[in-house]
Amino acid sequence: MARRRKLYEGKAKVLYEGPEPGTLIQYFKDDATAFNNQKKGIITGKGVLNNRISEFLMTRLTEIGVPTHFMRRLNMREQLVREVEIIPISLVVRNVAAGSIAKRFGIEEGTVLPRSIIEYYYKSDDLGDPMVTEEHITAFGWAGTQDLDDMVALALRINDFLIGLFLGVGLRLVDFKLEFGRLYNEHDEVQVVVADEISPDNCRLWDIRTNEKMDKDRFRRDLGGVEEAYQEVARRLGVLPEAGPMDLKGPQAMQ
């Protein structure tokens, strides 16, 4: 393969220069981290599965008119995406108490929240992604009020849509994290779009019948069966690679 320029290496993905200006190649690794990098490991086949799962979810979102950076999947571990200006704020949308909200407010995990709650986190590894308010975000100029309005409107729409989509395959969407970026058109108009990935790495998904965790919490909490959980999510969504996640045949025909 021709050498290409690596632009960024993150915890779970690598970004390479894309074939056209304004595009990037997003490569999905098997590496997993938790607790701000304190726990590290490999989840075999995760990159292949997340590539497929995220492709599936981003495509469904595009179909309902939610703008995303996703263009197309290229092969087992890579997808072509639009280059965006990343907004340094992650949005977490919560439907059921779990993880940090359960701990912070002493709510029992599994309690259904009175309504969907959105939280903002400032993206900074050095600071451990602190939770911030709209005041911090606008005062420090991380995003403007229009960006925030757009991000919240998109997040709520995505939440309603994904709750239904996952319910249809027997999974409860407990919470998830979204990243956004700004895309500029030729008239210099800006559009806020969903970036990064949507996968069991950044969603909490519980089996509707058994409440079994089918996401990265299996890795975070040493519950075992991590690979199987990711595979099961992919299988239920109908995107499990035929020969399994270890299929290394290379690029396959797109459906």
| 233 touches ligand UDP (CB under 6 A) | no
Write down the least CB distance from residue 34 to ligand UDP, Å. 7
175 counts as binding ligand UDP under rule CB under 6 A: yes
The interface region with ligand UDP, picked from 1-9, 171-179, 181-189, 244-252 by CB under 6 A, is 171-179
- Provide the Cα torsion 144, 127, 28, 55; round to 10°: -30
Q: Which residues of 178-204 are buried (b: 16+ CB within 10 A; e: fewer)?
A: bbbbbbeeeeeeeebbbbbbbbbbbbb
For ligand UDP, the nearest residue by Cβ is 99
179 binds ligand UDP per the rule CB under 6 A: no
Q: How many other CB atoms are there within 10 angstroms of residue 18's CB atom?
A: 20
In this complex, which beta carbon is closest to ligand UDP, that of residue 97 or of residue 192? 97
For ligand UDP, what does the binding mask look like between residues 112 and 131, x meaning CB under 6 A? -----------------x--
Residue from 99, 152, 160, 207 that binds ligand UDP (CB under 6 A)?
99
Yes or no: say if 60 and 112 are a contact pair by the CB < 8 Å rule.
no
CB of 39 to ligand UDP, least distance (A): 11
The Cα 21–Cα 82 span in angstroms is 9
Question: Closer to ligand UDP at the Cβ: 107 or 190?
Answer: 107
Contacts 24+ apart (CB under 8 A), 227-234: 227/43, 227/44, 227/45, 227/46, 229/200, 230/43, 230/45, 230/46, 230/49, 230/50, 230/53, 230/200, 231/45, 231/49, 233/49, 233/53, 233/171, 233/200, 233/205, 234/49, 234/52, 234/53
Question: What is the chain's Cα-based Rg?
Answer: 18
Q: Which is nearer to ligand UDP, 36 or 59 (CB)?
A: 36
115, 168, 211 from 208: Cα distances, Å: 19, 10, 6
Task: Report how many residues bind ligand UDP under the rule CB under 6 A.
Answer: 12
Residue in 23, 75, 100, 116 binding ligand UDP, rule: CB under 6 A:
100
| Contact stretch for ligand UDP (CB under 6 A) within 70-78, 158-166, 173-181, 226-234 | 173-181
77, 213, 216, 218: residue in contact with ligand UDP (rule CB under 6 A): 216
- State the DSSP H helix or E strand holding residue 227, giving kind and residue range, or none if neither: helix 226-237
**Structural element, H or E, at residue 119:** strand 112-122
Residue 171 or 203: the one with the smaller Cβ distance to ligand UDP is: 203
Is 177 among the residues that bind ligand UDP (CB under 6 A)?
yes
Q: Which stretch binds ligand UDP (CB under 6 A): 39-47, 67-75, 99-107, 236-244?
A: 99-107
Instruction: By CB under 6 A, tell whether 213 contacts ligand UDP.
Output: no
Token look-up 């019948």 returns: 209
Q: Which parts of this chain interact with ligand UDP (CB under 6 A)?
A: 92, 99-101, 129, 175-177, 202-204, 216
